[in-house]
């Protein structure tokens, strides 16, 4: 008793550190440990229903997350060149190229992870996934478990689509039971679903704090916190860490604090995946002009809640580039309105053809429907060769100048 009293009170770690630890400990370290124990480790696409593997006690790591980390640590170009030398064209997604190079044995000290014993692919996030994961399965001669989500041509998925996905979901469970060597425990599955819902709810709450003016945090922070919602969605520790983050932000709102340390002259939506190798370069001209990113599409896309199996299937149909254009426009324009943006910065991502492909039409709709300034720039989520800092700066400056002009016009000024 006295010992406990004499111990100095442990300082509570900030949520951002807790979140980082959850990914490192419960995802990557857990996978290395499993590998050492001789247990199978899987590689999973970011929006595969991990509730199944969580319930079966299988460990997963995430190629997209790994590729983003390698990209951010400036290893993307090296890995892409390895993949290109293997025959993968440089028009292919840079995440895919980085990961395929890693799978082929090219080391990446920036973010090592164990090689796969099985791969899980859900093409809701993009169709390039299918061929990417087929290649992984062939390279390692391992099982590929696939859940095909048909492209959406309606705002909401109909029952036929839900049934089609459900069939594959059930089949995936059977295949994964064989890999795990045990039967699915429904209680554990429900617990995983409950954790995923709790984490999603807290994550969406975190995202929603960007509605405040001024915002209690820098919108780019969301990109940094995404790792957890992508790789550790069905874990309790994730839910707890996001709840802590939501509490911190609520406190920021009360006290008027923010992690955004600059003026908030303007608020924008950042459309697309950031250029991970150039985060600093992306951020610099924004912070210099007091432009906070108070809306993003990418981050909340991984926060989805459901109440039953049909809703779970429907939730996995929704990803930023797999919803029909009407839904996509509605989704983004709602975020823009709720989060009071004055402008939109669109990343034409050379790695993500589906996402970038429908952007010119979306841009047109944003201009027409929202009447806000819109600027597009060319870049890449992980291949630094597809980004030009000078061109980006000019476009941000132009966006700023249009927002300034709009602001002056609103305030009755005349240029």
For other proteins, the closer of residues 116 and 376 by Cβ is 376
User: How many whole angstroms separate alpha carbon 300 and alpha carbon 373?
Assistant: 23
Provide the token pair at 132: 């990417």
For other proteins, the closer of residues 131 and 284 by Cβ is 284
Provide the token pair at 359: 């952007």
Selected binder of other proteins within 375, 382, 383, 384 (CB under 8 A): 375
- Size, binding site for other proteins by CB under 8 A: 26
Q: How many helices (H) and strands (E) does the chain have?
A: 18, 8
Asked if 42 interacts with other proteins (CB under 8 A), we say: no
Selected binder of other proteins within 155, 178, 367, 407 (CB under 8 A): 367
23's CB contacts (< 8 A; 6+ apart) are 65, 227, 228, 231, 232
Residues between 384 and 413 with contacts to other proteins, criterion CB under 8 A: 386-388, 390-391, 394-395, 397-398, 401-402, 405-406, 409
User: Closest approach of Cβ 397 to other proteins, in Å?
Assistant: 4
Asked if 360 interacts with other proteins (CB under 8 A), we say: yes
Q: Report DSSP letters for 284-333, one per residue.
A: HHHHHTTEEEEEESTTGGG----SSHHHHHHHTT--TTTS-HHHHHHHHH
Residues between 309 and 348 with contacts to other proteins, criterion CB under 8 A: 348
Selected binder of other proteins within 373, 381, 382, 384 (CB under 8 A): 373
Selected binder of other proteins within 182, 183, 364, 407 (CB under 8 A): 364
For other proteins, the closer of residues 10 and 89 by Cβ is 89
Selected binder of other proteins within 247, 363, 369, 389 (CB under 8 A): 363
User: Closest approach of Cβ 251 to other proteins, in Å?
Assistant: 39
User: How many whole angstroms separate alpha carbon 377 and alpha carbon 140?
Assistant: 37
For other proteins, the closer of residues 23 and 374 by Cβ is 374
Applying CB under 8 A, which part among 68-76, 139-147, 183-191, 381-389 lies near other proteins? 381-389
User: How many whole angstroms separate alpha carbon 63 and alpha carbon 128?
Assistant: 13
> b/e map of 342-359 (b: 16 or more CB within 10 Å)?
bbbbbbbbbbbebbbeeb
Q: Would you call the peptide bond into 214 cis, given omega within 30 degrees of 0 as the criterion?
A: yes
Q: Which of 355, 346, 351, 365 is nearest to 320 (CA)?
A: 355
User: Closest approach of Cβ 266 to other proteins, in Å?
Assistant: 15
Q: Helix 94-103 and helix 63-72: axis angle, to 10°?
A: 100
What residues make contact with other proteins under the rule CB under 8 A?
348, 360, 363-364, 367, 373-376, 378, 386-388, 390-391, 394-395, 397-398, 401-402, 405-406, 409, 414-415
């Amino acid at each position: 008793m006295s010992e406990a009293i004499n111990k100095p009170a442990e300082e509570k770690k900030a949520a951002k550190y807790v979140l980082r630890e959850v990914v490192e400990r419960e995802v990557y370290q857990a996978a290395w440990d499993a590998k050492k124990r001789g247990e199978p480790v899987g590689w999973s696409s970011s929006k595969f229903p991990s509730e199944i593997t969580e319930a079966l006690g299988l460990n997963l790591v995430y190629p997209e997350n790994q590729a983003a980390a390698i990209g951010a640590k400036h290893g993307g170009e090296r890995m892409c060149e390895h993949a290109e030398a293997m025959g993968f064209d440089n028009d292919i997604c840079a995440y895919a190229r980085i990961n395929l190079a890693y799978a082929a044995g090219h080391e990446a000290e920036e973010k090592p992870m164990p090689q796969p014993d099985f791969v899980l692919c859900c093409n809701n996030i993009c169709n390039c996934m299918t061929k990417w994961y087929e290649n992984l399965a062939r390279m390692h001669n391992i099982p590929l478990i696939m859940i095909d989500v048909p492209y959406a041509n309606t705002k909401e998925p109909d029952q036929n689509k839900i049934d089609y996905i459900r069939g594959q979901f059930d089949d995936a469970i059977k295949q994964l039971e064989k890999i795990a060597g045990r039967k699915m425990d429904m209680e554990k599955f429900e617990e995983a679903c409950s954790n995923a819902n709790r984490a999603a709810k807290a994550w969406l709450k975190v995202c929603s704090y960007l509605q405040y003016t001024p915002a209690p945090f820098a919108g780019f922070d969301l990109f940094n916190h995404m790792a957890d919602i992508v790789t550790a969605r069905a874990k309790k520790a994730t839910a707890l860490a996001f709840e802590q983050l939501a509490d911190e932000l609520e406190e920021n709102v009360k006290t008027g604090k923010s992690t955004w340390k600059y003026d908030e002259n303007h608020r924008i939506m950042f459309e697309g995946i950031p250029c991970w190798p150039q985060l600093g370069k992306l951020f610099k001209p924004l912070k210099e002009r007091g432009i906070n990113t108070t809306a993003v599409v990418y981050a909340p896309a991984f926060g989805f809640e459901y109440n039953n199996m049909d809703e779970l299937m429907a939730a996995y149909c929704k990803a930023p580039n797999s919803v029909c254009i009407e839904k996509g426009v509605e989704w983004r324009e709602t975020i823009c309105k709720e989060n009071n943006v004055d402008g939109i910065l669109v990343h034409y991502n050379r790695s993500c053809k589906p996402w970038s492909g429908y952007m010119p039409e979306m841009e047109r709709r944003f201009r027409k429907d929202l009447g806000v300034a819109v600027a597009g720039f060319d870049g890449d989520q992980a291949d630094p060769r597809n980004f030009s800092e000078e061109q980006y700066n000019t476009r941000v400056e132009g966006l700023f100048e249009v927002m300034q002009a709009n602001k002056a016009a609103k305030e009755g000024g005349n240029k």
